[in-house]
Amino acid sequence: MAYLGCWDGLHLLRQRGGGKSVSHFGILVAARWIGDEFVDRWGPMVVHQAPPGIRMTRFEEGAWEVVGRITDERSATLRMLEAARDPNYNLFGNNCEHFANYVARGRRESPQLQIAVLAIVLVGLVAWASD
């Protein structure tokens, strides 16, 4: 398959929300082998966090943007397995961006959520100050 030459390994992905102002994040699993595990039985897959929990869907070129390659595949695979132990979606602590950044970088963070909360606080402060 053509993707194998370009998409081997693990990659952090972003998907622009159709009509939404936020992006969806996931992990592309597109290698025949990650560590000692065979993961390419059904072609490249996207592992992502969406209500109610972690999902695996087929990778569709054009639907996702590759943000970056994950170089430490063994650690990322272990973090993905660890995250699967608590698969429940939570907007403020376990959303798609928290999940993908944790797997890719080892940090549960959601810059989109931080910006949204900051914007809400600023709007509240402006409203309060204008009273």
| Domain spans in the chain, listed from the N-terminal domain onward | 3-130
pLDDT of residue 89: 93
Contact 67, 16 (CB under 8 A): no
| Residue 20, Cβ density class (10 Å: 0-12 exposed, 13-18 middle, ≥19 buried) | exposed
C-alpha 30: how far from its chain's center? 15
- At 129 the pLDDT is 76
Q: What whole-number distance in Å separates Cα of residue 70 and Cα of residue 27?
A: 9
Side chain identity at residue 108, one-letter code: R
pLDDT tens across the length of the chain (131 residues): 334 445 678 999 999 876 667 899 999 988 654 555 555 566 788 999 999 999 999 888 888 999 999 999 999 999 999 999 989 998 888 999 999 999 999 999 997 776 666 666 666 767 777 87
